[in-house]
Amino acid sequence: MGGDPGVSAFPNGDNIFDWVGAIAGSAGTAYEGTSYHLALPFTANKLPKVTFDTPVFHPNVDAHGNICLDIHQDK
């Protein structure tokens, strides 16, 4: 299966509903050489609530690793 090099996700152990992911910082950016780890907990009826486990300095990621975009908020 193809995909973006430097991006991966897979089940965390035997629990198919608990996934972990990683994103490698892109070359030529301030993120180069850094690997960011994510938690992707799935449920039967909702999309996963993705959070960064690795601290990230980004305007759309809060201090707890939550991705902060209006499109992700319940309205």
Tokens of 73: 């908020």
Active site residue 48: no
Of 64, 68, 70, 72, the active-site residue reads 68
Q: Helix count (H) and strand count (E) of the chain?
A: 0, 4
C-alpha pair distances (Å), 41 with each of 2, 30, 31: 23, 28, 25
CA angle 11, 29, 53 (to 5 degrees): 30
> Which of the residues are catalytic?
68
